[in-house]
Structures are given as structure tokens and as C-alpha cells.
Structure 1
Amino acid sequence: MNYRNDIDGLRAVAILGVVLYHAGLKKMSGGYAGVDVFFVISGFLIGGRIFLDLEKDRFSFKDFYFRRVRRILPALVAMVLVTMIVGWVTLIPHDYRYLGGGAVTALLSLSNIWFLNRIDYFNPDATLDPLIHTWSLGIEEQFYAIIPLLLFLLWRVSKKAVLPALLLITLASFATALATAQEYRLEAFYLLHTRAWELLIGVLVAWSVRNRPLASPWHTPTYIAGLILIVFGLWSVPPNVPWPGVWTLPAVCGAAMVLFAPQAASPVTAILANPLMRFVGLISYSLYLWHQPIFGILKKAYLWPQTIAGLLLVCAALIVTATLSWRFIEQPFRTGAGWNRPQKATFWAAVAGIWIIAIGGGITEGYPKRMPTEVSETLAVRESYSPTYRRCLLVRNKVAAYDFNDACTFGDLSQEPTVALLGDSHAGRIAQPLGDALKKHGKAMVELTLSSCLPVAGLINDGQSRATQCPAFNARVLEYLSEKPEITQVILYANWVSYAFETFGPNMFGIDPSSTTIPSFPVNGPKPASSEGREAAFISALATQLKTISQHSNVLLVVSTGNLQVDLPRYIANRQWWNTQTTRNFTYPRSIERVRGDALRAIFESAIREAGPLKYEVSLFDLNNLFCTEDACDLVRDGTLLHSDTNHLSLPATKILAAPMARALSVD
């Protein structure tokens, strides 16, 4: 295949989309589609090279895979090793152990499988993972393991079979993606069988341009239309859409059109073939490798800059790092100059070092002895919850068959429960401490909680695959309550901010990190088209829930807005580790809480009004009154951390609220 300058420019467009998306550029809503553009380019170049070698009867599996190894592994190994070295002095044990798993699977071309079983790519926490981006390398390398053999066999059987076979496989892969991306969101995103169509489109383009005239009156408009589609795909993807899917097509088809329509030097090709874009394209692989470790570690250590000058400094450091990686690692190894005996020894020593560090991290739980005792004690708060918490938070795969009469009960177990606690994991955290407080009043409580499920029938979390059982769970809870007239008090407690709003709002530093919530929408009927419509639907569903429960019970609606969006134990531990923070007392401004707190209280009050006259009482219990003054909210009080992560209360904090909540239930 003839070298095309504009393909380097196309790579530049793809990598800029990915980097800007991970840097937090709000308007680059589909920047991650840059990876899909890379898939098409890879399929085009790999397919074109294989077809050329097959035509000249010189194809060699050994040569093919050796070229892939030289192209991918040296820079990848260098990035992973440096990330583990830097992580040694920046990452807490839990994160470092996790990093080791990602490092090993990256070397084995199995990163996509690793992350499939651990985190949703669109989860805000994924942006903190230094190696999350290696999932796409796993996809490509698995594709490279299959496509040479497939094309070789098709070519040997019949050249006429190549095109229909590729078309059939491409359509099957795309159809599978469409059919599964909604219900099996993670599998569709991370696995090869739902991604292969993107690479195969590149292969199909490579097949179609063989031996055809370079000039055509349709090339220029096709080329321009392709560029427009790519830009649209990078900038205009709505939130929470199934991916890959229909919204993936603009970027994929746009890339295919640009590759299909080669241009002679012209103002059109100047867009992609200018020297600056070509340079960015040349270092695009190293940019891709290094951007996420730099971004992820800075974010995880809460060192991410909040000024334009700081962001520019990070970007400059990234460009320098990528350029050095391209010049001194990629190029020598790719051309063969990097495979002399000393360099081979260095390469394999680096690989061995990664494995040794990773295995040691697994055995020691992340090398905790790296950290002072004080830091380890702070990090222990991350596991700060009652002994019954995990056992009593209903297991998802038991929803349909679960007997609610076997649900956990707390308090005075000699009595029938008269209090029911409904909610998600936030409610689960307070169950035992609240039960202990209720025991002093001779009362018992039953816990009916399911992680990530807001306690409102008729609503479901947008785009969260594990929430699919929430409607069935909530329906069964209401049925259970209707059969238990002895239950006269019902508590509704959840991470309301995550369900009621489309963004979290400012974090505890007053900075809006643009984290994505999992806003709820009606189970039945179309999604509301606007934020106002979605809020109205939320209020209506909550009003219905209150009206239903208040037919037989009083309702205590808990106002909780302490969604810090900062992992408090990790933040405090890092500052202790670096001697920049003490833990006696630490607060954040009450004005930050009120951004979401006032709006949430207004939603609750609207729902109570909409519910109309009620048989029993609905009252609000505001947790912020326990942890906040008029001016500030406590995060660390007298040396005690009140949060165990970004949003859950720690065990000491749940004990603080237990007695006042018990009194609010009119049981004293």
C-alpha cells in the first residue's frame, strides 16, 4: 500500500478526541469515539497489508505477528513499567494491587476482559484508572490473532468468497452489538464480537480500494462528508447511549469514507496532511499510551489542575513524554534497530519486572508497608461499615426468588418489626446502628435494601445495566409492606443526588468535575425529552410512592446530599503520606451542599404536595443538620472521618445519626 500522509492526520483527529475527552472537555461529548476511528484505521492498514502480501504470494504469519509485536509491545511495556514505578509512590495499596492486575492483563492482550469484570468505562471512577485505556489494545490484538488466518483461508479457498464472507461477519457483529448494547452494556463495549465490525469495515475498505483508479469525481465530496461525520461523532454524542451502536456509526463511517477516497495534494487533504497534524498522528500511539497514566494518577492523587495554565502544563508534559517514547522506543524497535541483544535483554527484564511487582502486589494486598501507620489507619475507614452490611444488602441475583420474610431485622428481636428501612447501599450502611438505637426503645426494624436502587417504584436508573432488577424489587417491597400492617414507620433513604439530577454539581472543593450521575426515568413509556420533564416524572413517581406507603404507614424521607465526588479516605491519606494534611478537623463550605441540597428539598416538598391529602404523615429528616453548621459541613470531626468513600457515610457517622433518627420516628 502506498503511504498516505492524510492517514497520519486522521490518527491525529482520533487521538485528540480521546485525549480531550479524558481531560474533561465538556463539549467533546463523544471524544471516546476516537478509539472507534482508530479501529477503522487499523483494519484498513492491516487488511491492506495482508491483501498485498497475499496477492504477491509472500504472506507470512511469522512476519505479520513479529511486525505487530515490534509495533505494539515495546512502548506498551515501557508505559506499564513506568506507571507501576510512579504508582509505587502515589497509589494507595488497594489501587496499587488493582494496577498490577491491569498491568499483567495489558501484556497478555486481555485488558478488555479485565475491565469487563471490574468497571463500566463510562463510570466516573474509570477516568481515575491509569490503565483503563488498554482495553482497546486488547480488542485490536485479539483481532490481529484472528484476521490473518481468516483472510489467508478465504484467499486460498476462493478470492470470490472474501468479500461476501467479510460482509456477513461485519453485519453479524454489528447486529450483535445493536441487540446487546442496551441490556449487556459492558459486554457489548468491551468484547471483540461486538467490536469486530469496526475493524472489519476498515478491512472492507482496504479490499475495495485494491487496483482501482485513484481519481474519481466522487472522492472529494466523499472525503469531505467523511470528515464532517467524524467531527459530528466526536462532538455530538448524547449521554448514556448504548455503545457501540447507532451513535457509533458517524465516526466509523466517516473514517471509512476518508480512507476510501484518497486525494492528491489539495486544500481538502491539507486539513489532515499538514505537518502539525501529521506529527500528532505519528506520535498518536505514544500519546494514547501515556495520556491516561498521566491523567489518571494526577486525578487519583487529587493533583489534577483546575486552571487553564495547569492544564496546558499537563498537556505539554504529555506531548514531551509521547515524543520521547516515539523517538526512542517506538521507532528503534519498529524498524528493527531496537532488537539487538542488550535491548532484547532490557525488554524482557522490564516484562519480568512488571510480572514480579504485580504478583507481589497481589500477595501483599498492594504493598501496604510502603505507607506509615497513620496512613494505613485512615485508609481502613474505606472498609468502615457494620458487620451485617454486605450480608443484608440484597444480592441482585436473588431478587425474583428472595423471601422477604428472611430479610435482616435489627433492634429488639423479641418484637415484630414496626419499622421498615427502604433504599440503596446508603440505607444499608445505617441499618445496624439505627437498629441498635431502636432497640433502646423496644422496637425492631426490617431492612429492605438493594444496591444502586432508589426506593421509588416506577423509576429506573438511566444506562445502568445492574439496575434492571430495581423495578421488580421495588414492586415486591410495596407488596410486602401491604401485607404487613404492623409496620407503621417506613424510612426512604438513598443517594438521592445520583438519581434526581443529571449532574452531581460541585464537589467538596466547589469544583464541578462534570461527573455523570445515573438519573432516573419512568420504567414505562418514553424517556422525558428534557431535564424539566425528567424532574417532573421523578416528582410524580415519588408522590405516588408516598401516597401508596402512607395508606398504612408514616414515612420518613431522608434528605442526604453529601456526595463529595472525592474519595475522602484516599484524599486524606495522600496528604498524610506527603505530610500536607492533618486529620483532626476538616470541613467544606455549607454553600456547596446547598447547591444540590436546596434543589433536593424542593423536589421532596413538591412530591409531598402532589401526593395530596395523606392518611399518615410524611416528614423530612435532613442529615445535613447533623453534620453541618450554617457555614460549614464536617468531613473529619475530632480526628474521625465521616465518609468512607466519595458518598457513603463511615460507621462512626452512621452512629452519630442513629439516635436522632430514632427519635424522629417517634419512638422515644
Structure 2
Amino acid sequence: MIYREIDGLRAAAVMPVILFHAGFSFFSGGFIGVDVFFVISGFLITSIILEEIGNGTFSLAAFYERRARRILPALFLVVLCCLPFAWLWVMPEEFRAFSDSLIATSLSGANFLFWFKSGYFAPEAAEVPLLHIWSLAVEEQYYMFFPLLVMFMWKRKRNWLFAVLVALALASLAYSEWASRVHPSANFYFLPSRAWEFLAGSTCSFMQLKGQKRGSDPLSFLGFGMIAFSIFYFDETSPIPSTLALVPVVGAMLVLLYARQGTWVAALLSTRVFTMIGQISYSAYLWHQPLFAFARIRSIDPPPLTVMGVLTCLSLVLAYVSWRFVEQPFRRRERRLLPSTRSLAASVSLVLAAFIAFGIYGHDTRGIPWRLPAPIKEFMANNGWSKTCLLEGSSGWDTMPIQGCVFNGSHEQTYAILGDSLASSLTPALAKRLDGMNIGLQQITHSFCAPVADVSMVPHQARDCGAFNAAAIDYLVKSKVKTVFLAASWKIFFEQSRYRFSGEEVATSDVGQSLRDAFDKTVGELTSAGIRVVIIYPHPRGDTEIAAKVAKLMHKGTPTPTITIAQDEFLRQSAPSYAYLDDPKDRHVLRVDPARIFCGREAGRCDLARDGKTFISDKLHFTPAGADAVADEILYALRQDDTVDGNVAALSSD
């Protein structure tokens, strides 16, 4: 396969990725263009290394210099262009995340960061300007190891090199199949799950080296069809990478091997449109995500497809400019920019150090909030959510009550709140009201830990939840606490596809009765000890950052924005959680439904922010105003309860 067909294949890979990110649903599997890119990269890198090693001209230093000249100039340009727009438009918390991505990008570790922060297909991912750099990080990590492996095998067991690469590819494929079921997010982002795609390209390089140079219309057409099928048939639920990814990967291999001059596929890929887009494909890939992300960040509502189509065209225009005036001047052999290795290394080091320093500053200042106008800064400062005493990991709850997490501790009677970060955001307002009733409040909260005995979600942040809940419930049963508030992100918890029951992971989604039994057990253990349980029900939540959205509207001239969602949509989303939470029938169970506060003021809607007063900070957690409203509803429920353990008078006088 000659170079212009490879450029054409690059075009066939990059355009579906761009159109998928633009939101064109017809390209539901467009993300597999990245898998095709990995195959192409493995093919080209292996071909170059084998040719140079065979000629005795291979140099590891020269290899890495070529990679740096290929990758870094255009990347640096795009990152630099992102900075002023992020500075002007991005709210502090998101700017802090952007700063983290600067550091990760500079250290070739963006895939690790985005795995830890959020999923590739999460709604918020569309507003992350540098999300797409994860694939570049995977490629850079591959470049670190692959040449060393080839050099090592060439010197010692040259005849075994092909067999070793095939064995590694099969091992990586098997691992990706396993990880797609057990650790799907890590599987998507990490090199061990992706290595077989690069090595598939390496296999093609070996086959070509050994004489496979014959074109085939049926096989090349089949390969192109397999890629097209993946683009239009796969979607976000497809477990990629896994054995399912063999469809586009084998398709790319067939095109690389058999789309030779004279075949239909070669003729298509050699057309001017395909080859031109292929030549600028790297820059196009770099430009498209920041353009789309900043458009979504700046827009109050999702931009229409017409706007995204215009931005798609703009990404190609910018790609041509950066290819012509940045990529080529650094790569050409004659009169190239920074011609010496030393000057290139010094310049790269300086730029990377500047990015890292700026990223550290943005992280440490929590998003450089002072860059925003004063009213926006004040609004954002007053509409965060409380993380005080929100534990993470296995430390901090060895002994209970947790030190420093008992509020109003001088009072004779103390209540407790048990739950996850949602409970943490509610605690300050609840503690303030209980203080006025001479009641203390113990906060027992851990990130990702819904208060359900013996059950936890699968993400690694929830790995300690089983032990945490066991310790908390054991303590409460033996304590003098006689009222416990259970609050959590119930919708998230009850809609997981995988859980750990008593430490054992359950793969099936048919866990309804087991979850119901576990929640009943939690409530039963507490009420059997004479403890009154107050369950805080789900509340309306947003699909974007609510405080940031209000701040955007204020920044654009709307002084008192209102943000709503449809009440029917909220009820539909919350129905599974209501079914679980309604189940315990013990008379010592009270229920507080925040929907009474946020929904129904106007028919058919639930308010997330009302006339400038914001109830939800991000997408889920209560602002101080939202926590105040829910705390008032809790006190109302306590007033209605005739088993308040002697506090009726105090409550009535509040």
C-alpha cells in the first residue's frame, strides 16, 4: 500500500471521530476511528524501524526526534490557543480540571487523568477541551516501549520477533476482552488494552516485508466495509476495545494489505479529497475537540447541529493552516525550524515546563477564580458545596465518632447523618438548625458510599464502602444516637450495572431483590436498636454544572437566571430509587422528599435555580441555599412525627 492510500485511510478514520464528537448520531460508532489510527500507526512505525534496522541506520535518538517533530509543534499550538478561551470562559472548577489536563498532557499521561476523572462517554466529557489527547498519550507510551522491544529482539532472537509480537498482540486482546467486562473505563484508556491494535499494524508490516504486495478487490472492499459497518453500527454501549474491536481492526488490516493500486478501495482512498484530509488528519484531530468543547462551554444550551457542522469545517481549515505552517516547517529536511536536536530539545523542555508550571498554578489556586468579574467570583464562592468531613479511602474512620466531625458537640443529645458526598453537602445547614434546638450532629460521610450495608459500587473510589458502612452502622447501633439521617446520590447508586455484595463483585444487572434486602437490612439494624431513621429522597439534578450555568447566564447579562427540568423527567429518572426507598415499613422510618421544595411551583417543572438562587452546585450536590431548603423540610417532617423522643416542644418553638 503506497503512502497516498494510507493518507486516504487516515481520512476515513479521522472524519468519523470528528463527526461523532460533533454530535451527529448517524456516526454512532465514529470513535472507532481512533482504533483504526492505532493500526495505521503500528504499521508505519514498524515499517520504518524494520527498514532502518535492516539498513543499519536506525537510531533511537533520531526516532524520538522524528516523533517529537511530528507530534509536538501542532500539539503545542493547539494547547496555546486553548489557554485564552479557557481563561475567559471556563468556570473555576472546570478551569482547575483544565489545568490538570495541561500537566497530564505535558507528561504524556492524559489517559490516566481522564480515566480517573470521568468516562469518555460521560455527558460532561463533551466540554473537556483536551479530552482527545488521551489517545495521543497512549500512542506516546507505545513509542516509549516498542522500539526498545524491537531492538532487543533484533540483537538476540531476530527470527523470534514476529512470533513475539503476535503473542503480545493475542495476550493484549485477551486482556482487553476481560477488562471490558471488569474494568471498562480503564480498558478504554490504557495501553495494555490497546497494544494489540498497534501490533495488528505491526503484523501487516511484517507480512508486507515478507512479500505480501498483491492487491485484492474483494478483500480490500471487505476491510473497508468492516470499518464502515463499525462506524455506523457501533455505539457508546459497544465494549471497545475487546474482541468486538476485531471488526474495525481486521478491516484496517485488510485495507493496509490489499488496497493496492488498481483496486476500487485504493482508487477511492487516492482521491484528492481523501488524501488531503489524510495529510491534515493529525491537526484536524487536535483542533476539533477544543472547538466543540468551547462552543458547548460558551453556549447556554447545546449548540445546534448546524453550528457543529460549521465548526467541523473550521477544524479542517485550521488543520490545513497548522499543517502547512507548523507541521511541515518542523518536519521537512531542508530549512526546517529548530534544525538541531539540541535546539529542539531545549525548546520542547521550555514549553513543557511552562505548561506544567501554569497547570500547577491553576490547580493550586482552584481554577484561578480572581480572573473572573467580581460578581461572578462572589457568586461562585457562595455556591459551592461542603466537603468538610467527607472521607476518601480507608483512613479517618478507624474510630467513631470521627474526630472533628461532631458539630454542636456540647449539647446533651446528638443526631447523625450517614451517607456519601450528597450527605456532606447537606450537613452544614442541618447542623445549624439542630444547634438551635440544642441538638448536636455527627457527620459520617464517605465519597461514593451510599448507606447500604454490605453493598458498594464497583468504581475504585468505592472500594472501601463495605467496611466503612459496616463500621458506621456498628457504631451507631451501640451509640447514644437516636436519630440517623440517610442521604445519598440514590439515583446513581441504584442504577449501577455492577455491584460488590460483601466484597464479591456481581456481574449481572438482575440484583433488584438483593439491593432491596440490603437496604432493608440497613434500616432494620438501626430501627431495631431504637434509632429513628430519616431517609432523604432523591432531588432534581442537572445534566450540566448548574452553578456554572447560572454564572454563564449572569456573565451574559441575565441577572437572576432560573434553571429548570421537566417534572415528568425527574419522576421517571427517580422512579427506581423511590421503589427501593419506599420499601422499609418500620414505624421508626421518616421520609423527606426534596421534590416538595423544588417541584410544582409552576406546573410541570422542577427548579434547580430559581430567580438567581441556585439550589444545586454542580450536577448533584446542594449549594448552601439548596441545603437550607432541604434542612427546613427535614425539620418540618420531624415536627409531624409524634415520636421525636421528647423534642416536640423544642421543634415547635423553632
TM-score range, shorter chain: 0.7 to 0.9
User: What is aligned with 1:624?
Assistant: 595
Q: CA deviation at 1:603?
A: 3.9
The yes-or-no answer on 1:586 pairing with 2:584 is no
The yes-or-no answer on 1:561 pairing with 2:518 is no
The yes-or-no answer on 1:657 pairing with 2:651 is no
Q: CA deviation at 1:230?
A: 3.3
**1:598/1:289 Cα in 2 relative to 1: closer, same or farther (>3 Å)?**
closer
Q: Confirm or deny: 8 A CA contact 2:566 2:606 kept in the other structure.
A: no
> What secondary structure is seen at the aligned counterpart in 2 of 1:132?
coil
User: What is aligned with 1:496?
Assistant: 490
Q: Confirm or deny: 8 A CA contact 1:546 1:608 kept in the other structure.
A: no
Counting only pairs closer than 5 Å after superposition, residues 10-21 of structure 1 correspond to structure 2 as: 10-21=9-20
> What secondary structure is seen at the aligned counterpart in 2 of 1:421?
strand
Q: Confirm or deny: 8 A CA contact 1:81 1:350 kept in the other structure.
A: no
Q: CA deviation at 1:294?
A: 1.0
Name the CA distance, whole Å, in 2 between partners of 1:309 and 1:424.
Answer: 41
**1:290/1:586 Cα in 2 relative to 1: closer, same or farther (>3 Å)?**
same
Q: Confirm or deny: 8 A CA contact 1:381 1:644 kept in the other structure.
A: no
The yes-or-no answer on 1:61 pairing with 2:35 is no
Deviations 1:611-637 (A, max 9, x none): 5xx342444312132244431555455
Q: Confirm or deny: 8 A CA contact 2:173 2:243 kept in the other structure.
A: no
Name the CA distance, whole Å, in 2 between partners of 1:494 and 1:170.
Answer: 43
Name the CA distance, whole Å, in 2 between partners of 1:115 and 1:520.
Answer: 21
> What secondary structure is seen at the aligned counterpart in 2 of 1:398?
coil
Deviates more, 1:77-86 or 1:452-461: 452-461
**1:141/1:540 Cα in 2 relative to 1: closer, same or farther (>3 Å)?**
same
> What secondary structure is seen at the aligned counterpart in 1 of 2:303?
coil
Q: CA deviation at 1:534?
A: 6.9
Q: CA deviation at 1:82?
A: 1.2
Q: Confirm or deny: 8 A CA contact 1:378 1:572 kept in the other structure.
A: no
Q: Confirm or deny: 8 A CA contact 1:499 1:519 kept in the other structure.
A: no
Deviations 1:266-320 (A, max 9, x none): 3344554444333332322111101111122222333564323222222222222
User: What is aligned with 1:376?
Assistant: 377
Q: 1:451 aligns with which of 429, 447, 451?
A: 447
Deviations 1:218-237 (A, max 9, x none): x5554444344434544555
**1:162/1:520 Cα in 2 relative to 1: closer, same or farther (>3 Å)?**
closer
Unaligned runs of 5+ in 2: 645-650
Q: Confirm or deny: 8 A CA contact 1:9 1:277 kept in the other structure.
A: yes
Q: CA deviation at 1:252?
A: 3.0
Across the two proteins, how many residue pairs are aligned to each other?
631
Name the CA distance, whole Å, in 1 between partners of 2:104 and 2:481.
Answer: 51
Unaligned runs of 5+ in 1: 502-517
**1:127/1:275 Cα in 2 relative to 1: closer, same or farther (>3 Å)?**
same
**1:393/1:96 Cα in 2 relative to 1: closer, same or farther (>3 Å)?**
closer
**1:413/1:253 Cα in 2 relative to 1: closer, same or farther (>3 Å)?**
farther
User: What is aligned with 1:425?
Assistant: 421
**1:346/1:194 Cα in 2 relative to 1: closer, same or farther (>3 Å)?**
closer
Counting only pairs closer than 5 Å after superposition, residues 249-398 of structure 1 correspond to structure 2 as: 249-270=246-267, 272-302=269-299, 305-336=302-333, 339-340=336-337, 352=350, 355-356=353-354, 359-360=357-358, 362-363=360-361, 365=365, 367-381=368-382, 383-385=384-386, 389-390=387-388, 392-398=389-395
Deviates more, 1:342-351 or 1:170-179: 342-351
Name the CA distance, whole Å, in 1 between partners of 2:228 and 2:149.
Answer: 33
Deviations 1:246-281 (A, max 9, x none): 444433333233323344433344554444333332
Structure 1-normalised TM-score?
A: 0.82
Q: 1:595 aligns with which of 569, 575, 578?
A: 569
User: What is aligned with 1:513?
Assistant: none
User: What is aligned with 2:412?
Assistant: 415
Structure 1: which amino acid aligns with 2:461?
R
Q: Confirm or deny: 8 A CA contact 2:103 2:359 kept in the other structure.
A: no
Q: CA deviation at 1:664?
A: 1.4
The yes-or-no answer on 1:438 pairing with 2:434 is yes
Q: Confirm or deny: 8 A CA contact 1:527 1:534 kept in the other structure.
A: no
Deviates more, 1:359-368 or 1:449-458: 359-368
The yes-or-no answer on 1:35 pairing with 2:34 is yes
User: What is aligned with 2:199?
Assistant: 200
Q: Confirm or deny: 8 A CA contact 1:586 1:634 kept in the other structure.
A: no
Q: Confirm or deny: 8 A CA contact 1:43 1:200 kept in the other structure.
A: yes
Deviations 1:3-33 (A, max 9, x none): 1444333323322332233233456554433
Name the CA distance, whole Å, in 2 between partners of 1:639 and 1:246.
Answer: 50
Q: Confirm or deny: 8 A CA contact 1:36 1:198 kept in the other structure.
A: yes
Deviates more, 1:656-665 or 1:340-349: 340-349
Q: CA deviation at 1:43?
A: 0.6
Q: CA deviation at 1:596?
A: 1.7
The yes-or-no answer on 1:465 pairing with 2:460 is yes
Name the CA distance, whole Å, in 2 between partners of 1:574 and 1:403.
Answer: 44
Q: CA deviation at 1:42?
A: 0.3
User: What is aligned with 1:161?
Assistant: 160
User: What is aligned with 1:510?
Assistant: none
Name the CA distance, whole Å, in 1 between partners of 2:474 and 2:144.
Answer: 53
> What secondary structure is seen at the aligned counterpart in 2 of 1:648?
coil
Name the CA distance, whole Å, in 2 between partners of 1:49 and 1:356.
Answer: 33
Deviations 1:582-605 (A, max 9, x none): 1xx33234x6144123552x4455
Q: CA deviation at 1:45?
A: 0.7
> What secondary structure is seen at the aligned counterpart in 1 of 2:210?
coil
User: What is aligned with 1:504?
Assistant: none
Name the CA distance, whole Å, in 1 between partners of 2:449 and 2:228.
Answer: 37
Name the CA distance, whole Å, in 1 between partners of 2:151 and 2:369.
Answer: 51
Q: CA deviation at 1:411?
A: 4.5
User: What is aligned with 2:102?
Assistant: 103
**1:34/1:624 Cα in 2 relative to 1: closer, same or farther (>3 Å)?**
same
User: What is aligned with 2:647?
Assistant: none
Q: Confirm or deny: 8 A CA contact 2:444 2:472 kept in the other structure.
A: yes
> What secondary structure is seen at the aligned counterpart in 2 of 1:492?
strand
Q: 1:403 aligns with which of 399, 412, 432?
A: 399
Counting only pairs closer than 5 Å after superposition, residues 80-95 of structure 1 correspond to structure 2 as: 80-95=79-94
Q: Confirm or deny: 8 A CA contact 1:227 1:258 kept in the other structure.
A: yes
Deviations 1:362-414 (A, max 9, x none): 447355443222121122135442xxx43x22322239x73344373344544
Q: Confirm or deny: 8 A CA contact 1:298 1:304 kept in the other structure.
A: no
Structure 2-normalised TM-score?
A: 0.83
Q: Confirm or deny: 8 A CA contact 1:422 1:455 kept in the other structure.
A: yes
Identity %: 29
Q: Confirm or deny: 8 A CA contact 1:586 1:635 kept in the other structure.
A: no
Q: Confirm or deny: 8 A CA contact 2:13 2:34 kept in the other structure.
A: yes
Deviations 1:479-526 (A, max 9, x none): 445545x5543333222333345xxxxxxxxxxxxxxxx566574786
RMSD of Structure 2 on Structure 1 (CA): 3.8
